[in-house]
Chain A
Amino acid sequence: MWYDQPFRETRHLTALLRAIRQEAARPIRIMEVCGGQTYALSRYRIEELLPDTVQMIHGPGCPVCVTPAETVDQALAIARLPGTTLCSFGDMIRVPGSGGKSLQHLRTEGYDIRIVYSPLDALDIARENRNRQVVFFAIGFETTTPLYTLLLSQAVAERLGNLSLLTSLFTLPAAIRFLTRDPECHTDALLAAGHVCSITGIDEYRKLARQTRRPIAVTGFEPADLLYGIYRVIQLHTRGEARVVNAYARAVPPQGNEKARRETSRFFTPCDARWRGLGTIPGSGLKLRPAYEQYEARNRFHCTVSLPNGTNPCRAGEIMKGKISPRECPLFGRRCTPDSPMGPSMVSAEGACAAFYRYRTT
């Protein structure tokens, strides 16, 4: 049997749904923090199977969605510099900057912008193009950052002077804490992202559950994983227990990945970070340590951009706080579609708007 099959089998899903229905007597609002979970909930249309008492809120866990417009503007400015090659993951090249242009637009204008599948691909590009400055648009959460440390350690070892990172790195616990303190963001329980916890471990989430007084389930991405996580937080909520359960034990060791964390600490240090749609959250980002600051593209190139004037009517910030559903945004499905996205959450497959649009029923 193929590995993922049991987690999609009808009989398992039906059994989990039955258990949820029995347990969910009290209304509960559950935030899935991760974009991958939002995507899976939409793709498998899990929400419509849940009882009316259970409401899912789509959190801020999509790195494309939370990267601020001014950072996209910086990437655009760097890409326009002569002799520069900008490398990016695929999703990011379609995100419009504050002027409406994206990296994809610049690519059609002839600028050297490359989609890569792994940050390590940028190493080869830098090695093969010593006369060009190669910049990797390094966005992401705790899961992606260890990959950037591999890139950096190799660049340092080889003394590659033509490679740098435009970083936009976030960490989730501070953002979760911030959101749960927001009086407009009503959540009773959280689904934490399994792949993030496979790096961070679950100790920090234990603390988070105590501080926020909410149950948390560390959850995977298959339909059965999500239903099981939902079932466990409902169970804890019913019992009034604000603690963490590891509902994804097959992938998440409680201690996480110590080596990945060690390497992350070697190169990066926490900082305050601006999240698109949410504002500045203290201690929720990572920046390069002073010893490695020369690898930060912002320090290497002149790419000062002015802060966007806030005229974009995209309401992704409110969507990420659970204040409105994507369908309540006046742009959704009209002016804003995956073909012509007005905001990042319509670009990324893991953005709530794109997932809602793509997997809609009518």
Chain B
Amino acid sequence: MNIFDISFWQTFLPSMLMISAPIILTALGGLINEKSGIVNIGLEGLMGFGAFTAAAIHVTLEPQLSNGLSVSVALLGAALIGMLFSLIHAFATISLKGNQIISGTGLNFLSSGLTIFLAQLIFNQERTNPFKSGMSGLTSYKIYPSAFIALAVMVGVWYLLNKRVFGLRLRACGENPQAASGAGVNVKRMQYIGVVAGGALAGIGGATLVLTQTIQYTGSLINGTGFIALAAIGFGRWTVGGVSLASILFGSAMTYALMSSSNSGVIPREFFLALPYIVTVISLVLFDYWKIKRLGLS
């Protein structure tokens, strides 16, 4: 594997886009979520719900509909299911003012249990049946539509958060709910919208993951991708551009790790797999160190 070789990039770039797209989608969902003032560590679970739903819908509709139509319905279903389950988190944390971390953890538990439970009932095995072909690649280099969906969402979220009154209000609810409420914003409603929008995007994120990277949903499919998205939000410093770039960086590290055969290089493969998490820890610690130093707190 030589990074100065053109063939390396011909494999690397499409794979990187394929692996990064679900991370970008989920991380931007989480960003909207956090901007409204509600942290959701249940992104991992919501991705699982999305991936399971998409796989189940696609494998059922595939024989009857055209590939494009079936995939579209699968994406839509995943978004709806993501919204539905994120409502649990919204209700617990916004209406009942419960602990956000406990509720998010609950979503993760529920996802890993319920998806496999349903798979056992519907498909009589601990996974969904495999579908014939997932999303079809667009060009000869197999760039999946998921990359374009991610790009569209990136632009859309940026426009919504930074250029619309809605975005201003949403951010106000996260930064200073009292002030927002004083200015006549319905804080609870905005936060509900934030959490549910996050759920929709995490659901789509999970769906694109299963429809591009594999042929069925299994219990170990998501395997931390939701937490990588969570890391990208922190490493991207809560801006749309930063979060997207962080997602791409993390996607690249994962792609490189997957491409390098185990124990061949000087740097072990595990290092690249752990890289997103290591980079995030370092960046969070450094930023908070600088913040405290700037404020002269210690």
A associates with B: no
